[in-house]
Amino acid sequence: MKSKPLIVLSVIIFLALSKTGFSQFPIVKKQLPFEEKQMSTNVKKIQDPNHRDLNWKAPQSIKGNSDDTRKFLYFEGAGYPTQLKGLPSFSESVKFNNNNDDPIVELINQKFETFSETNLISDKDILGSVIKVNPRIVWFKKQPYINITFMPIRKNPTNGTIERLVSFDYKISSKPSTKNLKSLKSGQNYAGSSVLATGNWYKIGVTSDGIFKLSYSYLKSLGLDVDHIAPANLRIYGNGGAMLPMGNWMPRADDLVENPIAVVGEGDSV
C-alpha cells in the first residue's frame, strides 16, 4: 500500500512535464573536435561518417516481345534514372540539421572491385575516374534532408579499368550558405492532385525485388486494349510496398512515385 502514492506521484510528474513541453528543456550541444587537416577553415563537421555496403547481385534480365533479352547491372536497392542509360544509381536521404548552411557530402574509405559484365555498359563515356555525388536539399514536414545520389561505377584513374563500388563511408559537413535555404523551404512544391486522378489504372503485385517483364499477353489479361495503346504512354507507379516509418518526421512521398521502365519494341509505336 505504501507504493501507491509513489506511483501516483510519478504519473503527476510525467503529466506536468508533458504539459509544459519538451521545448523547455535545456539543449546541450557537444563540441566536436575540429579537423583542420581534412577540412578548410570555413567548413565545420556536423556528422560522423556512416558506413554502407553495396550488395551486388547477378545482372537482372528482361525479355522483350521480340524474344531479345536485355541485362542490367544490379545491386540491392538500385535505381535506374533515365540519364544513366540503364546503369544503376545509389540514392539515400539523410536528415540535415544545419538548414542555413550549404551541405557537403564526401565519400571516404571507398573500396572497389573489378567485374566481368562491363559489356552491359552501353555508353562507357558517361563513366568518370571518380564517383560524383549529387547532393540536394529536400524538405519534408518542414524539416530539411539531404538526398545523396551517385552512380557507383568508375574508370580506375590509373589504368582505366572499369570498377564498381562495394563499400564506403559518407561524411556530411556544411559551409556558410551562399543563398538563403529558407527560401527553398517556402518554395517547396507539392502535388496539386494525385496521379490517380487521370488515366486508367491497374494494380499489379510483386513479392520480391528485381526486374520484371510485363508481356503483351499479361497486359491483355488485365483488360488493357493493348492493340490500341502506344507503348510510350505506359507508366508504372509504386512506392516500394514497405512499412511506413515509425517516426512521423521521416521523409515520404506525398503521391505515387513513377518507377523506371524499359519498353522493348516501342520504336514502331505498337
Would you give per-residue pLDDT tens digits along the chain (270 residues)?
A: 444 444 433 333 333 333 434 333 333 334 434 333 333 334 444 444 689 999 999 998 876 666 677 889 999 989 888 888 889 999 988 888 776 677 888 999 999 999 999 999 988 899 999 999 988 888 888 888 888 899 999 999 999 999 999 999 998 888 776 655 444 444 455 677 888 888 888 888 888 877 888 888 888 888 888 888 887 788 888 877 677 766 666 667 778 888 888 887 666 555
Query: Which residues in 106-132 are b (16+ Cβ under 10 Å) and which e?
Result: ebeebebeeeeeeeebeeeeebeeebe
| Fold assignment, 44-188 | Immunoglobulin-like (2.60.40)
- In angstroms, the CA 65 to CA 217 distance is 10
Cβ-based neighbour number of residue 76 at 10 Å? 11
- In angstroms, the CA 220 to CA 34 distance is 63
